[in-house]
Amino acid sequence: MIQFFHVSKRYPSGQSALEDVTFDIPRGQFVFLTGASGAGKTTLLRLIFREEVPTSGQILVNGRNVSSIPQSKIPYLRRTIGVVFQDFRLIPRKTVFENVTHLPRLLGVDVQGQKRMAYHALRRVGLAHRLNAFPPELSGGEQQRVAIARALINEPEILIADEPTGNLDPDLSREILRLFLEVNLRGTTVILATHDRDTIQRVGRRVITLDRGSVALDQELVGTDPPSLDPSLAMTADPEAGDAAETPEPESQGEEDCSFSKPCVISSTRRR
């Protein structure tokens, strides 16, 4: 799904952000990306959605070489990747609904369809009742959840989160982490950058540790205290099917067969 081949990134100032990074993340995997501040986590994530271009090496995302795709194709790559930032990056003068439905609007989904998709995405993060609020009216945790809803609205193949819980209190952090795990259970490849070692130890999963731009460690961890997943956060198979406000969420399939220490067999439907 995501393959890095001897990727290096050096900024014009001469500072090296990544040095000969090679790894392969298969489809549907949950990966923690960790390392000290300045280790290159953010640069690595930015390379995946072509916010940065590698100085050398190749990056394949879903079979496409993102380091060489033309400028005009970048938006189409990004539509398959949901991105969540530590600082939320919401548009303050737009409502939650407008912030969340940007991509469906871009794809020509009609207003009714946008409403359904927004409702489902926001319900997953517990904010369906704040549809018409503006970001400045929301708490930090709520803003982060809106950002996650925006990233998830189009059922992306990949979800990238850069320190998504860095600004949140521990309870909210756990809630959001649980949400990412739920998303992963549905088949989305999740890469979560964090320097919170406690969370990583508790949850487990694959952990790629960066140190001064190089992969220092790439290991599978078994979680010491993995969170129990809340089924009410699981998404419907087709968010556009029926009236979102009245249709109860169907039970997600396959979740019972999953545990954090062994691979999951997931039956999911995905909007592409």
β-pairing verdict for 204-211 and 214-222:
antiparallel
Cα R_g (the chain), whole angstroms: 18
Among 78, 178, 195, 206, binds another protein (CB under 8 A): 78
User: Counting every residue, how long is the chain?
Assistant: 272
Nearest CB to another protein, comparing residues 4 and 85: 85
Q: Which of residues 141-180 bind another protein (CB under 8 A)?
A: 150
Choices 78-86, 188-196, 222-230, 254-262 (CB under 8 A): range interacting with another protein: 78-86
Q: Count other Cβ atoms within 10 Å, centred on residue 216.
A: 13
- Tell me: does residue 270 bind another protein (CB under 8 A): no
Q: Which is nearer to another protein, 72 or 219 (CB)?
A: 72
Cα–Cα separations (whole angstroms), residue 62 to 48, 143, 157, 163, 198: 11, 29, 9, 23, 31
Residues 96-125 that bind another protein (CB under 8 A): 102-103, 106
For residue 64, what are the β-bridge partners? 61
Binding pattern for the stretch 33-72 against another protein, x by CB under 8 A and - elsewhere: ----------------x-x-------------------xx
In terms of Cβ atoms closer than 10 Å to its own Cβ (0-12, 13-18, 19+), residue 5 is middle
Is 91 a binder of another protein (CB under 8 A)? yes
Residues that bind another protein (CB under 8 A): 49, 51, 71-72, 75-79, 83, 89-91, 102-103, 106, 150
